[in-house]
A and B are shown apart, each in its own frame.
Chain A
Amino acid sequence: QSVLTQPPSVSGAPGQRVTISCTGSTSNIGANYDVHWYRQLPGAAPKLLIFAHTNRPSGVPDRFSASTSGTSASLAITGLQADDEAAYYCQSFDSRLGVWLFGGGTRLTVL
């Protein structure tokens, strides 16, 4: 069980909006460490999607947004497309463990 907890799966129809939560604790997200999000397409390496809570690297469409509050973070995807089907991971540093943590990952299915 990951220290950063994500739902194992979410789904939505094309065009809809989905959100993915990432719940941590006072030693990671709640300690104001940056939260980053990655997308991993099937059979591919992870790709940085959001860095430092809310920022998109160039080339990432504004359909993807994220926020952090307290000990939790959330990724939102609007205008769902078929090729959004992937696994999504949150990441933050944990001061108690002294490690970079990844959430367990959330598999997005576009219905």
Chain B
Amino acid sequence: QVQLVQSGPELKKPGASVKVSCKASGYSFRDYAMNWVRQAPGQGLEWMGWINTDTGDPTYAQGFTGRFVFSLDISVNTASLQISSLTTEDTAVYYCARECGGDCSGHDAFEIWGQGTLVTVSS
């Protein structure tokens, strides 16, 4: 079945870097864009940006430029998010979310979500 499986929780110290992976299966990886969404503890959802899985071109939302990098490894159908110079404010659950296919094909909703990766930044 179509699914996105993300890497496990991370505990990092301030100033370190982290890489979160999102492995896709059950569909043609390059056919659907991948989005990244952040959810701080007890807070709502915040769109970080997206990556074109066909060209590899990333687009970053305001507030997610500089320290945030979206990348792909097409050979293993995996999208990744790397965050550098971590601060405690980066503590959050990070989700990858695929654009619509199937039922909602042609629309721009986020149809398939990974299970989320908790990144905790603490000294």
Binding site for A on B (CB under 8 A): 35, 37, 44-47, 61-62, 95, 97, 100, 102-104, 107-111, 113-116
Contacts and interface: CB of A to CB of B under 8 A. Distances in A.
A98 B35 CA distance: 14
Given A51-B100, A89-B44, A34 B107 contact: yes
Interface of A: 2, 34, 36, 38, 40, 44-48, 51-52, 55, 57-58, 87, 89, 91, 93, 97-105
A87 B37 CA distance: 16
Contacts, number: 71
A45 B113 contact: yes
B117 to A, nearest CB: 10
Given A36-B110, A93-B108, A105 B100 contact: no
A78 B47 CA distance: 29
Nearest to A97: B62
Given A45-B113, A99-B61, A51 B47 contact: no
Given A52-B107, A52-B109, A91-B109, A45 B116 contact: yes
A46 B107 CA distance: 17
Given A52-B107, A91-B110, 5 more contacts: A34-B107, A34-B109, A45-B113, A51-B107, A51-B109
